[in-house]
Amino acid sequence: MNDPEIQNIKQRFGIIGNSPLLNHAIEVAGQVAPTDMTVLITGESGSGKESFSKIIHHLSVRKHGKFIAINCGAIPEGTIDSELFGHEKGSFTGAHEARKGYFEVTDNGTIFLDEIGELPMATQARLLRVLEYGEFIKVGSSKVLKTNVRVVTATNINLLESVENGKFRQDLYYRLNTVPIYVPALRERGSDIVLLFRKFASDFSEKYKVKSLFLTEDAKIVLTKYRFPGNIRQLKNLAEQISVLEINREVNSEKLLKYLPSESNYLPALYRQQPIDEKAGVSERDLLYKVLFDMRKDVNELKKLVHGMISDEIVDQNGVESTSTEILRNIPESKISSDITHGSYVIDGSEPAYDVNNIEDISHETERDESLSIEAKEKELIIKALRKNNNKRKYAARDLGISERTLYRKIKQFEIDD
């Protein structure tokens, strides 16, 4: 595909920018559009993946058919099969009448499945059958129906990692990934950031009849160096926010920095779907768990060291008091009594606080008791979020930063009674 054709696609679908990575993604989308091949679009959230699904549909022979975009992560696990494939009357509680699913109503059209990695395993098996044979069965029915639908999918996670963890079917992954398209993050597009900012500011000024913003050269440098974790969505919000609040329409670096969140407010931007090395992806949660494990290990090592020092220094072999014993001497006699014969000390007449002869066993027991379990921490966080939001899963999921369907699955997995 030559440059004029790429520019024509940009103008038609309102795509701004000249980044080589962006141009390559558009070129691949334009080449695969006339075929019926499945496409997997990868990229960070907010990078514009849905725009590429529309390019593929409108440049295909199916352009006169229906196009439906579905966010798989926004549909509860219990109803997603009904949404995609339909159901018969009485097939489950609340099914008062038969309903057509998306794969039936978009026959001869295109269906865009965003956040495909959120699909439950059972639904993945149903989707694979649609892709392989063009067949599906409604929920509560035994009749096999046919459909001729082109499937375009998108994800912001590393699906290969999900395959290795048993959360995504390997056969479905390779069936979906016939033609991969990587949409670059905003920070990978260089000077495109300034062009997009100017476009958003111009749209705002035209809509509200105000003078458009003007960026100074130092402001442009600051803008292009910022990492924009929210990608295009964040940039658009930034342009509109400054357009509303700044009376002086010239924006320099000092003014711009007031509206840019500090980089320290974000965890390291370890995107989990790199275009070159897919194995390199690390989630932010994994990073946090690693830090917690390292901290726990350091604390346990420190405990062992302290216990060892006390056991070795309370009394030496000649019966001479050590530095540790001198420290204990400073505590009033009514508060502490030493029992050197049995190798223990007692405070306030209570049971021995520890047995120095058995210090190794205690340190091992402490380490076992305080071992950090990822599952236990997840369960604890979910319970806290549910209690905080009066068991309203929608708001609990938002606080946890996960989809409602994922929260539903976790509740079942941990057998949480909400």
Query: ∠ at Cα 227 (224, 230), nearest 5°?
Result: 115
Q: Domain 187-265 - what CATH class? A: mainly alpha
The upper half-sphere exposure of residue 61, i.e. CA atoms within 13 Å in the direction of its Cβ, equals 7
Predicted TM-score of the model (pTM): 0.63
What is the Cα–Cα distance from 4 to 11, expressed in whole angstroms?
11
Write down the pLDDT at residue 414. 80
- pLDDT tens for the chain, 418 residues long, are 778 999 999 999 999 999 999 999 999 999 999 999 999 999 999 999 999 999 999 999 999 999 999 999 999 988 999 999 999 998 888 888 999 999 999 999 999 999 999 999 999 999 999 999 999 999 999 999 999 999 999 999 999 999 999 999 999 999 999 999 999 999 999 999 999 999 999 999 999 999 999 999 999 999 999 999 999 999 999 999 999 999 999 999 999 999 998 764 444 444 444 444 433 344 555 556 566 666 766 677 676 666 666 555 544 444 554 444 554 455 444 444 444 334 444 444 444 444 444 444 444 444 444 445 677 778 888 888 888 888 888 888 888 878 888 888 888 888 887 5
Could you say which architecture CATH assigns to the domain 374-414?
A: Orthogonal Bundle (1.10)
What is the torsional sign of CA 342, 348, 351, 354? Answer: negative
The upper half-sphere exposure of residue 235, i.e. CA atoms within 13 Å in the direction of its Cβ, equals 29
Q: What ranges in 102-191 are assigned the alpha helix state H?
A: 102-105, 121-133, 159-164, 170-176
**Can you say whether the dihedral through the CA atoms of 147, 150, 152, 158 is positive or negative?**
positive
The position carrying tokens 């439906």 is: 68
pLDDT at position 348 is: 43
Cα distance between residue 407 and residue 394, in whole Å:
9
pLDDT at 402: 83
Encoded tokens for 141: 């029915």
pLDDT at 160: 93
CATH of 3-184, one of 3.20.20.80, 3.40.50.720, 3.40.50.300, 3.30.200.20: 3.40.50.300
pLDDT at 289: 58
- Give dist(CA 219, CA 336) in Å, integer: 67
What confidence score (pLDDT) does residue 149 get? 96
Residues near 388 by beta carbon (within 8 Å), at least 6 away in sequence = 396, 399
Half-sphere exposure of 60 (CA within 13 A, CB side): 27
Give me the pLDDT at residue 398, please: 81
Domain residue spans of the chain:
3-184, 187-265, 286-369, 374-414
Task: Give residue 287's pLDDT.
Answer: 59
- What's the pLDDT at 308? 62
What is the spatial distance between Cα 95 and Cα 281, in angstroms, rounded to a whole number?
Answer: 42
Q: What is the pLDDT of residue 290?
A: 60
